[in-house]
Structure 1
């Protein structure tokens, strides 16, 4: 199996691929943590080299992909480093303390042992925080949009497939920012950030162009919607769910809107980026409208 460990720090439509794969090929990416493997207990934010923060692997060209094609990225395995770190700093997340603060935790069996009481078990949720295809305009890896990016969804775990519409020929897959665990909304600005080895496999679909990153996990489809605030993100997501539900089930838009009001399933992804993000699905089997027939 081929392994890829090239790190990049900006996303650009003209960025030359450092690696190319065929659809159906299983390959590995070696990711660093969100600090660029610089963080540790006692390390302050000011101690970090900002040019090394938030690296992602990529871009990886996918043979035969043209702009407008859908690319599916199946997550086959996530093998984390033994230890990860969670941290915050002034201005990061909500309610951040006045000084930087870092804690180290086991990646596979995380326990909070920071007080005098019994240890608190943290539910392991290994997932990829950042996954996407090169955008048509330059962006930072921590940004997100229809091209993917910093989705910060625990749904991007082993067994999931993330479908994204390519904006440039070749797609230009990038991945990074792996978390061993993360609470809803990532309120302190990080999960348990960890370096990892990923095994991935890509596929393509030329007859479908999802408007939003679409995750299929446990036979359920979700879309990741973003907005300047949660109201905008929710409004965009409801509009998309209404549109696809009406088309898939052959119902008037007014009826589809009422149906969305009864079927919508919402999860908060993160509050730390300039654009907020939510994961939306539909219950009752209506999530079938979010993927091709």
Structure 2
């Protein structure tokens, strides 16, 4: 049976800010699976034959343009939207850039553009820069978000409603949970990555295009202030992920830990038990440290530790 396909290679289906009221480009039912074709984070500006000198032509105001929004039937403010990454297939090439005024280390490095080939699950470059390096592709969407409760937000900083979280744990098989603030949720996606490390320290990953298959489900009665996720971990286990998003890393870490405590409470632990369990079996990871003014810290834990053994 064929499923709905949304073509994101059309500027009429792309937006460059997050707002409470945006005109949906399409709608899907609760529980429906659908496909989205998603351009790269430059919104189709960077070309495969570009070199470093071409970076002067970039319009950074067009970065991370999101395909959407998609209206999810049945979603209302106060619900949680589950977004399952059923599949993600990257384009055949990608790019990474270093920019003096963007990234964790500023002013030290000059402009640099790296063009990658992506073939058989591996990214590599024929250029002398990083020649011979082969990177395993672990594709994910850098941007997945819903409409905010109020206000207008740019595309680069992540927010409480999701957006540019750049969390590389959101790979195929992951389920992302977003707090809903508007009727229909108004889901949008962008910024596919073929590979990225924690932090995305130079400001870019292996930026690429992608065809993504998603399944959305509306969860009623869940109280959630910040995004959470469940990510594939091993063949027999998953990883619970609770994200904190704030302009200060310590504040983001505190939000992440609080959110993990709340998640563990839904599994039968007291808040004190959850706090101790996070300390002995959980991890704090800097998922994104470059999308100023906000940063992302993820509290993670193997799902098996969140289950009590029964006598």
The normalised TM-score by structure 2 is 0.85
Q: Take 1:254 and 1:221, find their aligned partners in 2: how far apart are those partners?
A: 18
1:50 and 1:117 map into 2 onto residues whose CA distance is 25
Match of 2:283 in 1: 265
**Residue 208 of structure 1 aligns to a residue in which SS?**
coil
- Residue in 1 aligned with 2:247? 228
Q: CA deviation at 1:172?
A: 0.4
* Aligned residue number for residue 169 of structure 1: 183
- Alpha-carbon offset, residue 145 of structure 1: 2.2
**Deviation of the 1:143 alpha carbon:** 2.2
Is 10-19 or 238-247 further displaced after alignment?
238-247
- 1:192-245 CA deviation, whole Å, 9 max, x = no partner? 000111111111111213222111123332112112122111112223333444
3-state SS of paired residue (2:71) = strand
Give matches, 1:269-284, under 5 Å.
269-273=287-291, 274-283=293-302
Runs of 4+ aligned residues of structure 1 deviating over 6 Å after TM superposition are none
Between the aligned partners of 1:80 and 1:241, the Cα distance in structure 2 is 31
Judge which range, 175-184 or 107-116, deviates more: 107-116
Q: Match of 2:65?
A: 55
Contact map agreement 1:221 1:288 (CA 8 A) in 2: no
**Conserved? CA contact 2:117–2:125, under 8 Å:** no
Seen in structure 2, the aligned counterparts of structure 1 residues 254 and 66 have a Cα distance that, compared at 3 Å, is closer
Is 1:103–2:114 an aligned residue pair?
Answer: yes
Alpha-carbon distance between aligned partners in 2 of 1:124 and 1:228, rounded to the nearest angstrom: 30
SS of equivalent to 1:222: strand
Is 1:241 aligned to 2:279, yes or no? no
Per the alignment, do residues 181 and 256 of structure 1 end up closer, same or farther by CA in structure 2, a change over 3 Å counting? closer
Q: Which residue of 1 aligns with 2:145?
A: 132
Relative distance call for 1:79 and 1:271 in structure 2 (3 A) is same
Contact 2:142 2:164 in 1 (8 A): yes
Residue of 2, 5, 27 corresponding to 1:3: 5
1:30 CA displacement: 1.5
Residue in 2 that maps onto 1:76: 86
- What is residue 99 of structure 2 aligned with on the other side? 89
Mapped to 1, the partners of 2:153 and 2:229 lie a distance apart of: 22
Contact 2:240–2:300, Cα closer than 8 Å, also in 1? yes
Where does residue 65 of structure 1 map in the other structure?
A: 75
Which stretch of the first structure deviates more once superposed, 65-74 or 39-48? 39-48
CA RMSD of aligned residues (A): 2.3
Q: Point out where structure 2 has 5 or more consecutive residues left out of the alignment.
A: 233-237
Q: Does 1:193 align with 2:207?
A: yes
Equivalence map 1:34-45=2 (5 Å): 34-39=41-46, 40-45=50-55
Q: Structure 2 vs 1, CA of residues 230 and 44 (structure 1 numbering), >3 Å: closer, same or farther? A: farther
2:64/2:143 contact within 8 Å kept: no
**Could you say which residue in structure 2 is the equivalent of 1:120?**
133
C-alpha contact 2:239 2:303 (8 A) present in aligned 1? no
Number of residues of Structure 1 aligned to a counterpart in Structure 2: 288
Q: For 1:145 and 1:287, how far apart are their aligned partners in 2?
A: 27
**Structure 1 residues not aligned, in runs of 5+:** none
Task: State the distance in 1 between where 2:279 and 2:135 align.
Answer: 33
Determine the structure 1 residue equivalent to 2:194: 180
Summarize deviations over 1:129-180 as a string: whole Å, max 9, x none.
Answer: 0001111221122222221111111111111111111111110001010000
